Amino acid sequence: MAMLEVKDLAVNYGVINAVKGVSFDINEGEIVSLIGANGAGKTTILKTISGLLKPASGTITYEGHEIQKEKAPKIVAAGISQVPEGRHIFPGMSVKENLQMGAFLQSDRQAMAESFEAVYERFPILKQRLNQDAATLSGGEQQMLAMGRALMSKPKLLLLDEPSMGLAPIFINEIFEIVKAIKEQGTTVLLIEQNAKQALSIADRGYVLATGEVKMSGTGQELLANADVQKAYLGG
């Protein structure tokens, strides 16, 4: 059984059909990437899985339970955490306070301390910047903070929305290495990324979205080698 199964998902913004009957699944321990142009419906799908949007129809099944009607805090508590597009760190709050926001459901002080230590180990720069205003971090450091904040809840499934957006090349490579390491430590990853070549190179499987529909799927390597994908998304 798949960890997450999205079936015939449709999401509307008023009269606009942003997602039109999308189906895909993610197995435990995989990196699955959704690629597609702006407006393909990728972020809408992530927000719907997270409980921030409600679907017009279709189902989202996580670990055998339908969650499409659940509210966001319950979905986080079940083990799904999202790193939003644009990072959305909290300015005027320190790095430590931003990380604490990611653990808002944790009441066990020992568990929270363990979460902090795990994040410091993954992102040593954040430990050095603990008392610094998060808004003064570089773009790459802010992305690491957004990922660290999501990891504070110890998710089983991490939803990553455009983690390389706006980053310098040196940080882009580092972010993708971190995504691979997160998977290797046992967290399943659903990755949305404009940089299709980078995303597919680390993905076990991928789905190509266009105008709110799945147009193609395969392993990361199969999609990288596909002539249509190369032409549309890889500059081939």
Structure tokens at 22: 């999308």
pLDDT band at 153 (very low <50, low <70, confident <90, very high): confident
Task: Collect all residues with Cβ–Cβ distance below 8 Å to 129 and sequence separation of at least 6.
Answer: 95, 137, 141
- Whether the CB-CB separation of 218 and 206 falls below 8 Å is answered with yes
**Structural domains of the chain in order of their starting residue, each with its CATH number:** 4-233 (3.40.50.300)
DSSP 234: S
User: pTM of the predicted model, to two decimals?
Assistant: 0.90
- Whether the CB-CB separation of 26 and 4 falls below 8 Å is answered with yes
Q: What is the pLDDT of residue 236?
A: 57
What is the average pLDDT value for the chain, to the nearest integer? 91
Task: Identify any residues that bridge with 66 across adjacent strands, giving them in sequence order.
Answer: 61
pLDDT band at 20 (very low <50, low <70, confident <90, very high): very high
Q: What is the pLDDT of residue 235?
A: 66
Range name among 11-15, 96-100, 151-155, 168-172 with the lowest pLDDT average: 168-172
In this predicted model, what pLDDT tens digit does every residue of 129-141 receive, in sequence order?
Answer: 999 999 999 888 9
Q: What is the pLDDT of residue 98?
A: 93
Q: What is the pLDDT of residue 168?
A: 83
In this predicted model, what pLDDT tens digit does every residue of 171-227 receive, in sequence order?
Answer: 888 889 989 999 999 999 999 988 899 999 999 999 999 988 999 999 999 999 999
pLDDT band at 232 (very low <50, low <70, confident <90, very high): confident
235 in the Ramachandran plot: left (φ > 0), alpha (ψ -120 to 50) or beta?
left
Q: Rounded to an integer, what distance in angstroms lies between the CA atom of residue 189 and that of residue 220?
A: 14
Q: What is the pLDDT of residue 189?
A: 97
In this predicted model, what pLDDT tens digit does every residue of 31-90 receive, in sequence order?
Answer: 999 999 888 899 999 999 999 999 999 999 999 999 999 999 999 999 999 998 877 888
Give the helix/strand (H/E) hosting 214. Answer: strand 213-219
